[in-house]
Amino acid sequence: MATSIELRNEITMVELSRHNSREDCWVAVHSKVWDVTEFLDEHPGGPAIILQCAGTNATDAFEEVHAPGILEENLPLEKFRGILEEASSDVPPKGTVREARNKNEALSTDKAAEIPALNTLISAADFEKVASRELSPKTWAFYSSAATDLITHHQNKALLRRIMLQPRILRDVKKVDLSRKILGLPSAAPFFISPAAMAKLAHPDGELALARAAASEGIIQCVSNNASYPLNHIVESGDPNQPFFLQLYVNSERHKTADLLNKARKLGIKAIFVTVDAPVPGKREADERIAAEAVQSAISGSVSANDKKGGGLGRLMAQYIDKSLTWSDLAWIKQTSGLPIVLKGVQTVADAKMALEYDVDGIFLSNHGGRSLDTSQPAILNLVELRMKCPEVFSKMEVYVDGGFERGSDIIKAIALGATAVGVGRPYLYSLVYGREGAEHLTSILKDEVEVSMRLCGITSLDQATPDLLNTSDVDSLVRQDNKFPQIPPRYVRAKL
């Protein structure tokens, strides 16, 4: 991969235009000329897209699809041919650039005037309302959609609200500590940024903005395997000692996963969150109904494009996922990465017990925000069931949960049930309508709600949050009873007379 690029020969537009075939294909991006001939057949979107730009300055087409730096990330340095010498006809007249910039700034100001001032947003739900209006229809469908009839998606939030708090009174709550250790790493709050794909669809800075917000607010970001930006760009955009987790979809081409895990270790990633509940993506109909734009992940390389089933970004970008992943593969992931392993997508007590047997470092109770298997149990119900039936899990590994968490009071409920921390996903994508400042403001809102809830519950430390604070009777009856259905006896074949 390209690591450093020195200025080389200047290449004219005439010279560039000569390399315009499948056998000899050059393109210019941001004034850098690359020989992509050998990359054509490896391009996840197919060679035709590149060949349309062969021998030309492809910067505009490139920026519509890719994150900055992806060529340097994927091409060896020897494929760099030089710096493009723009022809005089390509150089705008003096003052044109300034005029265009001033016009764009005016348009941006007009658009900003239409968006509510950030300080008027006082809840996570407020960010969702703004995002529903400001994001493109396709981006909104990709972020907000869930599987088929949205049952699990809606129940994630609904069941959280059915668990009641029982506060204690007359306690000294002047000083409150909402800090938490997550896999031994300090966090200023008991929640982290859950992995969510393609944040650049909401804001040009995408995951970079989330990383900077996480750094300033002292929380941890779990980077999606389908992030918009290369992993090293995301890590480098934060503070030097800032901790990151990486969410992993195991690639059917295992060597690519091995390369990613090695890169993650070298970059200082602190843990790998292996997604285990989505060997295939769920059917997200709102996402499928709107035609896909050409979008590529900088980390996984997956590309969206329409097909006969629709234009679902989630489905189209998940073609590389290994459908044969089993428990026995976890040892390989842990050995290859040399990092703590968390299973993301555990939804049963039986699998939580299996995770203990396979010596993982944590489990993440998650149903993919209702985006995978519809009518699967709400995340909070999985946490209640695990706490009831297998409390020993919580003392032997860390347990996280996400799905529908938008209030600090709901985060306290999860902590009281034994969760180490809570993942927050969609709200952070919605906050990116305002960029880094939006993500910081959302974090501040959630922190404040957690702190207020702690004081009102009569606790000053998260360690004091126990099931004694909760009344779960409204959902207890939903916890599955063991052996409810008797075993069906074997069918006997009657002898023929």
Over residues 322-358, the pLDDT tens digits come to: 999 999 999 999 999 999 999 999 999 999 999 999 9
Average pLDDT for residues 306-326, to the nearest whole number?
68
pLDDT, position 438: 98
Q: Where are the beta strands (DSSP E) in 20-103?
A: 20-21, 24-29, 32-35, 80-85
pLDDT band with cut points at 50, 70 and 90 for residue 180: very high
Q: Angle 309-144-214 (CA atoms, 0-180°, nearest 5)?
A: 125
Residue 311 has pLDDT above 50, yes or no: no
Is the alpha carbon torsion for 165, 169, 171, 176 positive or negative? positive
> Are residues 196 and 431 in contact, defined by beta-carbon separation less than 8 angstroms?
no
How much of the chain is helix, strand and coil, in % rounded to 5?
45, 15, 40
Average pLDDT for residues 83-108, to the nearest whole number?
47
Average pLDDT for residues 206-216, to the nearest whole number?
98
Q: Please give the Cα distance from 136 to 294 (Å, whole number).
A: 14
Give the least confident one: 103-117, 255-269, 449-463: 103-117
Phi, psi of 177 (to 5 degrees): -115, 110
Pairing outcome for strands 244-248 and 221-223: parallel
pLDDT tens per residue, range 252-307: 999 999 999 999 999 999 999 999 999 998 888 887 777 545 556 566 555 545 55
Q: Where are the beta strands (DSSP E) in 430-477?
A: 470-471
Q: Where are the beta strands (DSSP E) in 128-262?
A: 164-165, 180-182, 185-187, 191-193, 221-223, 244-248
Average pLDDT for residues 197-221, to the nearest whole number?
97
Catalytic residue set: 249, 277, 368
Phi, psi of 379 (to 5 degrees): -60, -40
Residue 267 has which token pair? 């970059």
| Burial (Cβ within 10 Å: 0-12, 13-18, ≥19) of residue 120 | exposed
Q: What is the CA radius of gyration of the chain?
A: 25
pLDDT, position 93: 40
pLDDT, position 271: 98
Average pLDDT, the chain: 88
Residue length of the chain: 497
- Upper half-sphere CA count for residue 98 (Cβ side, 13 Å): 3
Q: Minimal CA–CA distance to 300: which of 74, 139, 81? A: 74
pLDDT, position 463: 98
| Chain Cα centroid distance, residue 409 | 23
Q: Please give the Cα distance from 214 to 187 (Å, whole number).
A: 10
Residue 388 has which token pair? 């009831």
Residue 29's identity, in one-letter code, is: V
pLDDT, position 124: 98
Q: Please name the helix (run of DSSP H) or strand (run of DSSP E) that holds residue 343, with its range, or none.
A: strand 341-346
Residue 366 has which token pair? 């998650």
Residue in the block written with tokens 């979008």:
295
| C-alpha distances in Å from residue 459, one per residue of 171, 267, 305, 412 | 8, 38, 51, 11
> Are residues 293 and 219 in contact, defined by beta-carbon separation less than 8 angstroms?
no
Q: Angle 288-290-295 (CA atoms, 0-180°, nearest 5)?
A: 85
pLDDT tens per residue, range 374-387: 999 999 999 999 99
Q: Please give the Cα distance from 313 to 347 (Å, whole number).
A: 25
Q: Which residue has the higher pLDDT, 456 or 48?
A: 456
Q: Which residue has the higher pLDDT, 409 or 83?
A: 409
pLDDT, position 472: 98
Q: Please give the Cα distance from 71 to 230 (Å, whole number).
A: 10
Residue 91 has pLDDT above 80, yes or no: no
Residue in the block written with tokens 């989505």:
278
Residue 169 has pLDDT above 80, yes or no: yes
| C-alpha distances in Å from residue 420, one per residue of 186, 295, 364, 400, 444 | 12, 35, 10, 6, 20
Residue 107 has pLDDT above 70, yes or no: no
Give the least confident one: 21-30, 378-387, 405-414, 472-481: 21-30
| Chain Cα centroid distance, residue 478 | 30
pLDDT band with cut points at 50, 70 and 90 for residue 496: confident
| DSSP letter assigned to residue 386 | H
Give the least confident one: 225-234, 291-300, 488-497: 291-300
Task: Tell me the H-state helices in 290-416.
Answer: 313-316, 330-337, 349-357, 379-389, 392-396, 408-416
SS3 51: helix
| Chain Cα centroid distance, residue 156 | 18
Residue 273's identity, in one-letter code, is: F
Task: Tell me the H-state helices in 375-424.
Answer: 379-389, 392-396, 408-416
pLDDT, position 95: 43
pLDDT band with cut points at 50, 70 and 90 for residue 317: low
Q: How many percent of the chain have pLDDT more than 90?
A: 69
> Are residues 195 and 247 in contact, defined by beta-carbon separation less than 8 angstroms?
yes
pLDDT, position 45: 57
pLDDT band with cut points at 50, 70 and 90 for residue 44: low
SS3 399: strand
Residue 181 has pLDDT above 50, yes or no: yes
Residue 89 has pLDDT above 50, yes or no: no
Residue 59 has pLDDT above 70, yes or no: yes
